[in-house]
Amino acid sequence: MKIMPLEHRGISDSRLALGCMGLGGSWNRADDYTAEHVRQAEEAVEAALSIGITMYDHADIYTVGKAEAVFGQVLKNQPKLREQIVIQSKVGIQLSDGTLPARFNFSKKHILPSVDGILERLGTEYLDILLLHRPDPLMEPDEIAEAFTKLKLSGKVRNFGVSNMSPGQIRFLQRSLPDPIVVNQLEMSLLRHDWVDQGIHVNQKAGLKDNFPEGLMEFMQMENIQIQAWGPLAQGRFSGRPAEKASEAEINTAALVNQIANENETTPEAIVLAWLMKHPARIQPVIGTVNPARIIACQDAVRQSELMTREQWYTLLVSARGANMP
């Protein structure tokens, strides 16, 4: 079974996506974005396009809306760009306003105006994909279906997805939706490898500590739902920016990544991403950097995923786990 959900659906063939959370400046509502922030966004998009990235990931909360606003300025400055790229954004998180706490909201009353705000900030008439941003314990699938149907019929959203959801939550939601869920976005990387551990710890005591939904990887492959990995570069821990209190496993894995990169005459970023992309689920990393040099450093990831051997993949996994296979 070959997993190519977004390609099969004619949505996108971009093997990498650019996460735009780092655009727009600060998360302070009082600060506005500047011409420098727009220039930064233009340079990030230019770097991404230069290595074949045509998919861009947003959320209405990223830098309290400014990430979408500066991206909208990029689109305004390059009118032909919109039809060359795929844009997805997310709704459903309400940030704290100082009185009420941060919370989730999948109500129709929240979703519909949130999408209007996204479209206004981006300066576009439609989103290619809209994701629900984390699970809302109070979600009512029939109400979400009403909102999605209205958005689809109005032409404002073409496809729908979710983030950080389990098989049960996706089934619960999909039962009411007229259109298929096409994406589930999850934190996955060499650092956050519990998505692998959950599978190999079946019938093992070590599995009691796993924090990844059982069967999620298999479920999404069977349902042809695109797995998107957020945080795939692990904040640079294995590609030049180690954490201050890095574990022995992290230090050893960074050295191993660099060794393989040197042997393959490529970059550490390409190896880190290739490890994810080697998986048969055809994982699509959403790289979070907006640094043009680091974006370009990812350009060899697809080729490296094809070159990576089973032995290299497992060697990296065992190193990252800091423990042998059970």
Spatial contact of 179 and 148, defined as CB atoms under 8 Å apart: yes
- Reply yes or no on whether the pLDDT at 1 is more than 70: no
Q: How many CA atoms lie within 13 A of 76 on its CB side?
A: 13
What are the start-end ranges of the H helices in the chain? 5-8, 35-50, 66-77, 108-122, 141-153, 167-174, 194-200, 216-222, 248-263, 268-277, 292-296, 301-307, 310-321
CA–CA separation, 263 vs 319, rounded Å? Answer: 18
- Reply yes or no on whether the pLDDT at 85 is more than 60: yes
Give tens-digit pLDDT for 98-142: 899 999 999 999 999 999 999 999 999 999 999 999 999 999 999
Q: Report the pLDDT value the prediction gives residue 183, as an integer from 0 to 100.
A: 98
CATH of span 5-187: 3.20.20.100
- Reply yes or no on whether the pLDDT at 202 is more than 90: no
Give tens-digit pLDDT for 143-176: 999 999 999 999 999 999 999 999 999 999 999 9
What is the band of 203 on the pLDDT scale with cuts at 50, 70, 90?
Answer: confident
63: nearest Cα among 301, 282, 290, 300: 290
Mean confidence (pLDDT) of the chain = 95
CA–CA separation, 320 vs 307, rounded Å? Answer: 20
Percent of the chain residues topping a pLDDT of 90: 90
57: nearest Cα among 224, 181, 229, 291: 229
Average pLDDT over every residue of 201-214: 83
- Listed range (112-116, 180-184, 200-204) with the worst mean pLDDT: 200-204
Give tens-digit pLDDT for 28-58: 999 999 999 999 999 999 999 999 999 999 9
CA–CA separation, 315 vs 271, rounded Å? Answer: 13
Environment class of residue 263 by beta-carbon count within 10 Å: exposed (0-12), middle (13-18) or buried (19+)?
A: exposed
What is the band of 228 on the pLDDT scale with cuts at 50, 70, 90?
Answer: very high
Q: Report the pLDDT value the prediction gives residue 208, as an integer from 0 to 100.
A: 75
What is the band of 2 on the pLDDT scale with cuts at 50, 70, 90?
Answer: low
The full set of domain ranges for the chain reads 5-187
What is the band of 244 on the pLDDT scale with cuts at 50, 70, 90?
Answer: confident
Please confirm, yes or no, whether 62 is among the known catalytic residues.
Answer: yes
- Reply yes or no on whether the pLDDT at 5 is more than 90: no
Residue among 56, 62, 126, 314 flagged as catalytic: 62
Q: Report the pLDDT value the prediction gives residue 204, as an integer from 0 to 100.
A: 82
Environment class of residue 5 by beta-carbon count within 10 Å: exposed (0-12), middle (13-18) or buried (19+)?
A: buried
Spatial contact of 79 and 60, defined as CB atoms under 8 Å apart: no
Give tens-digit pLDDT for 255-306: 999 999 999 999 999 999 999 999 999 999 999 999 999 999 999 999 999 9
